[in-house]
Amino acid sequence: MKIILKITSNFPLIFRNFIKDDNFLNYYFEKQPISKLYIETIENGLLIIFKSYKGFLKFHPVFSEEEIDEMKQNFAKREKNDFKISEKIAEQSFPKEGINIIYSLISEHTSDLVDHLILHFHSLNIKNIDILQQNDAKIIIKFKTKNSLIEYRNFIEHIINRKINSLKEILN
């Protein structure tokens, strides 16, 4: 079952930094044995195409508190990462109304996928975010502060770099 996840925002500058990196990421993700996916930049967002339900779940894991604590300790080691999201996101003047990132799913069984995304975001335990379910195929993550957005960026970088590093071990 193919799953398409469309990610957009009310703050267009957020995705600008992925444009130069989607080919780099696609190179690694295509070689993933389980979580094969493809990323395409679109106007004001991203399309992520997962080739399987299992791949979607592996890319959006539900973390334990111990795993979250370990990841937060590793955030300081960002300079060793292959993939980084630009610091410019954090330097922009943060809107008073916050920044919304909208996750829309195109697939069968979207309500199960939305439920899983909600569990994933709750497990990240990021302060100052709201998780709003719009319908069976869409959720909005509202970042109320710049720090909450930075923390989310750190989680994305960590998750992607963990996948890249595990693949490098397999290929070497």
Predicted local distance difference test score (pLDDT) of residue 123: 94
Taking the domains of the chain in order of start, what are their residue ranges?
3-171
Sign of CA dihedral 16, 101, 111, 62: positive
Closest CA to 3 of 45, 51, 47, 46: 51
pLDDT digits (tens, 9 = 90+) for 22-46: 555 655 566 555 557 778 888 888 8
pLDDT at 147: 84
Arithmetic mean of pLDDT, 49-66:
87
Q: How does 46-80 read in b/e, with b if 16+ C-beta sit within 10 Å? A: bbbbbbebebbbbbbeebeeeeeeebeebeeeeee
The residue among 6 and 94 whose pLDDT is bigger is 6
Q: Which two tokens stand for residue 144?
A: 């109320």
Using CA atoms in the order 37, 55, 161, 23, what is the torsion angle rounded to 10 degrees? 0
Among candidates 112, 158, 110, which has minimal Cα distance to 137?
110
Tell me the CB-side half-sphere exposure of residue 94, using CA atoms within 13 A: 16
Q: Mean pLDDT of all residues in the chain?
A: 78
Distance CA 112, CA 64 (A): 20
Residue 38, beta-bridge partner list: 49
Residue 157: predicted pLDDT: 75
CA–CA separation, 113 vs 131, rounded Å? 14
pLDDT band for position 150 (50/70/90)? confident
pLDDT in tens, 85-134: 555 555 557 888 999 999 999 988 888 999 999 999 999 999 999 999 99
pLDDT reported for residue 43:
83
